[in-house]
Amino acid sequence: MITVFTTWRSAGTRYCGQLERDNPQYKSHGEIFHEKFKNLRPILYKLSKENNSIIKIMPYHIRVRDSVFLLESILDLTKRNIFLIRKNLDECIQSYYVAKNIGDWHTEWETPIKIEYDRALYSKYVSLYEQELRWLSDLYHKLEHKELVWSEDYMRNTKEQKYYRPIVWDRTPDHCNIDVEEFFPGLIQ
């Protein structure tokens, strides 16, 4: 199994699709452990029988459950651990904020949409992303066999394009002041 550990709005869906195209013997299941799925044992059983799966995990999927059991089970099945990390956290959080406000994660549009900036809500998302990155960094540094892929490098080296979503903010969002690369020291390319 190939497991892609990532955060929201980091090109994870597209990256898993690319992995599937590059490895036709594998099937991408996406966010098979999304928090909306309650009974995980049948999912884990299915994955244990299918050696050629690609899954995408967000730290939140693990944290809202019995994280030790689920994480250990996933790691036991995983042959290739990939960490897909987006360096530009400001863009990442802005994209998350927009997706949460419009309620649609994957739609593109031509006409600019006006987004109202709520500082308290935005700060909540910054804190959430920082938690997610800390979790990913801790796991990354614990694992012996892993790969790090920067989302920006992947997008630069693929024919895939970012979503086209013209946005007009009523106020410019604050900078999050989090250096993502500090979570993965010694790995800066």
Question: pTM above 0.85?
Answer: yes
Tens digit of each residue's pLDDT (9 = 90 or more) over 30-69: 899 988 888 888 999 999 998 899 999 999 999 888 667 8
Where is mean pLDDT largest: 57-66, 101-110, 138-147? Answer: 138-147
Predicted local confidence at residue 189, as pLDDT:
46
Predicted local confidence at residue 117, as pLDDT:
96
Strands 53-57 and 2-6, sheet pairing: parallel
Residue 115, in any domain of the structure: yes
What CATH code is carried by the domain that includes residue 93?
A: 3.40.50
Taking the C-alpha atoms of residue 17 and residue 8, their distance in angstroms, rounded to an integer, is: 16
Q: Which residues contact 145 (CB under 8 A, 6 or more apart)?
A: 80, 81
Structure token pair of residue 6: 């990532």
Residue 163, in any domain of the structure: yes
Residue 23, in any domain of the structure: yes
Domain that residue 76 falls in: 2-183
Number of domains the chain is built from: 1
Residue 127, in any domain of the structure: yes
Predicted local confidence at residue 101, as pLDDT:
87
Residue 117, in any domain of the structure: yes
Residue 188, in any domain of the structure: no
Residue 52, in any domain of the structure: yes
Considering only residues 105 and 184, tell me which one the structure prediction assigns the higher pLDDT: 184
Helices (H), the chain: 12-22, 41-49, 59-63, 67-77, 89-102, 119-142, 151-156
